[in-house]
Amino acid sequence: MTALKLLLLAVLLVPHGAAAAPAVPGDTAQGALDAWLAAHNAGQREGLDAFNARYGIARDVQADLDFHETFGQLRLIETRRSTPTSVEALLVSEWGRGLLLRIGIAPDAPQPLTKMEFEGAPVPDAFRPAPMPLDALAAEVKRRLDAREAEGALSGSMLLARNGRPLFAWHGGLADRESMIAVSAATRFRMASLGKMITAVAILQLADAGRLSLDDRLSKHLADYPNQDVADAITLRQLLNHTSGTGEVFGERFAEMSGSLRTHRDYWNAFADTPLAFEPGSRDRYSNLDYILLGSVIEAVSGQSYYDYVETHVYRPAGMTSTGSAPESEHVPQRAHAYTKVDGAWTRETASLPWRGTAAGGGYTTADDLLRFARALQDGTLLSAGSLQLATRPQNHKAWYGYGFMVDGEGARRQFGHEGGAPGTDALINIVPAAGYVVIGLSNGDPSTMANIVNFMTQRLP
């Protein structure tokens, strides 16, 4: 999302089991940064392989190629700290993302690179793209979308609106590659983590109604949660802003048992034993389990299933008639199939899909429904003005997340929304309230082709 800061966009740590590489006597962290940046920007397997070998990184180079695909060319704009053994530098991607890169090095060790991590960061105004006239910007965005579709790299929907009025819409590619069904305005795409906005709205509605407090301990509402030490330690506010320290859901355990995870309570038994990663409130780390637990709180407080609550209190008031979370096993008219690249070919993706969407995401929607959601948020249909203000302002340590919304910027540059990505899913909404813009992108392919083009447009809006 345009400069919306993810806590950790990528961490490329040297595995303990990395094969030994020749020492690099006298090399420095700045030298490692320069070598990596040159290899990344070249985007060639051979150069990236050579960098990994030189610095003792045992990793499939495809991860590096995917990183290049996601961020494109990177430009070094500021070195914030540099010693012989560590460096911190600000990079800007060709799509307008800011990335803070930290590198650590032990020059005389057989595995010289000790740390390589990326974190989202704001881009200084001097390095932001210049605004473009809207007609020229729309033409350039359409050219990019058409080109990626023609290459077979993109299928999806994109929408730009201002003050609720659509100004630009694009639909292209195939919703079903086997049956050759084209994408249309009615195509329902999986929205991945965009569903966290829905869950946060539901929690804040219950808070506005006095039925819960954001400072309630989780145990107040989930008295039968299997890990009461954790439930006693964390608050709803910490779940909302990703400062709880709970663990992640998606991984090997999820892959092994995803078919049996059919309710929010099913996730309890699967993941409640995960220890807290840090003292609640002391740090921030993105966590899908945070929002699974919030979904359970909504059920406990409202007396409804999560799905019935959001249908009644979010989707219906906003006019979102094409949004839902029916199980993957059910036929949903006009729901696109998910496709991921395997050995260069698009393949139906099912392994990473939950049995059904949850409070953490995974449901489906359309670009038009997301525009209705944005409008209902801002006109007071869904939330009080005070709650919306809290939700869409920084609420964690590194100021990249509010309550259910990724946030960035101030004044005319202030924006909020969310992004979501998984194999076969690439979803994004940017809301720029001062200028009245909403930019939406949905795709049934891998991240981040659609997201990058959405970001390109958002950065250059007049």
The helix or strand, by DSSP H or E, that contains position 427, with its residue range, turns out to be strand 425-432
Residue at 364 is within a domain: yes
Residue at 4 is within a domain: no
Judge if 165 and 219 occupy the same domain: no
Q: pLDDT tens across 310-360, in order?
A: 999 999 999 999 999 999 999 999 999 999 999 889 999 998 899 999 999
Judge if 248 and 277 occupy the same domain: yes
Judge if 47 and 146 occupy the same domain: no
The total of structural domains in the chain comes to 3
Distance CA 431, CA 436 (A): 8
Per-residue pLDDT, 181 = 98
Judge if 123 and 25 occupy the same domain: yes
Residue at 317 is within a domain: no
Q: pLDDT tens across 269-305, in order?
A: 899 988 899 999 999 999 999 999 999 999 999 999 9
Judge if 70 and 148 occupy the same domain: no
DSSP 407-420: EE--GGG-EEEEEE
Distance CA 341, CA 85 (A): 38
Query: Could you say which of 109, 127, 145 is where a domain stops?
Result: 127
Does residue 383 contact residue 208 with C-beta atoms inside 8 Å?
A: yes
Q: pLDDT tens across 382-427, in order?
A: 999 999 999 999 999 989 999 999 998 888 889 999 999 999 999 9
Q: Which amino acid is at 114?
A: T
Residue at 320 is within a domain: no
Judge if 448 and 359 occupy the same domain: yes
Query: Could you say which of 302, 336, 362 is where a domain stops?
Result: 302
Counting every residue, how long is the chain?
462
Residue at 321 is within a domain: no
Mean predicted lDDT score pLDDT of the chain: 91
Tell whether pTM > 0.75: yes
Tokens of 195: 């569903």
Judge if 146 and 259 occupy the same domain: no
Per-residue pLDDT, 421 = 94
Judge if 363 and 421 occupy the same domain: yes
Distance CA 269, CA 265 (A): 7
Q: Is a pLDDT exceeding 80 seen at residue 12?
A: no
As a whole-number percent, the residues of the chain with pLDDT over 70 amount to: 94
Distance CA 131, CA 108 (A): 48
Tell whether the torsion through CA atoms of 223, 227, 232 and 236 is positive or negative: negative
Would you tell me how many other CB atoms lie within 10 Å of the CB of residue 254? Answer: 18
Judge if 214 and 260 occupy the same domain: yes
Judge if 275 and 363 occupy the same domain: no
* CATH at 149: 3.40.710.10
Would you tell me how many other CB atoms lie within 10 Å of the CB of residue 122? Answer: 18
Distance CA 309, CA 316 (A): 10
Residue at 1 is within a domain: no
Q: pLDDT tens across 49-99, in order?
A: 999 998 888 888 988 998 998 888 999 999 999 999 999 999 999 878 889
Q: pLDDT tens across 432-459, in order?
A: 999 999 999 999 999 999 999 999 999 9
Residue at 150 is within a domain: yes
Would you tell me how many other CB atoms lie within 10 Å of the CB of residue 265? Answer: 16
Distance CA 153, CA 144 (A): 11
Does residue 47 contact residue 86 with C-beta atoms inside 8 Å?
A: no
Per-residue pLDDT, 439 = 98
Per-residue pLDDT, 194 = 98
Judge if 350 and 454 occupy the same domain: yes
Query: Could you say which of 127, 154, 170 is where a domain stops?
Result: 127
Q: Is a pLDDT exceeding 60 seen at residue 21?
A: no
Quote the domain boundaries for residue 30: 10-127
Distance CA 49, CA 44 (A): 9
Q: Is a pLDDT exceeding 80 seen at residue 6?
A: no
**Cis preceding-peptide flag for 443 (omega within 30 of 0):** no
Per-residue pLDDT, 26 = 59
Name the residue among 35, 7, 284 with its Cα closest to residue 120.
7
Tell whether the torsion through CA atoms of 200, 202, 205 and 210 is positive or negative: negative
Residue at 338 is within a domain: yes
Would you tell me how many other CB atoms lie within 10 Å of the CB of residue 61? Answer: 19
Per-residue pLDDT, 60 = 86
Name the residue among 291, 278, 323, 328 with its Cα closest to residue 427.
323
Judge if 352 and 367 occupy the same domain: yes
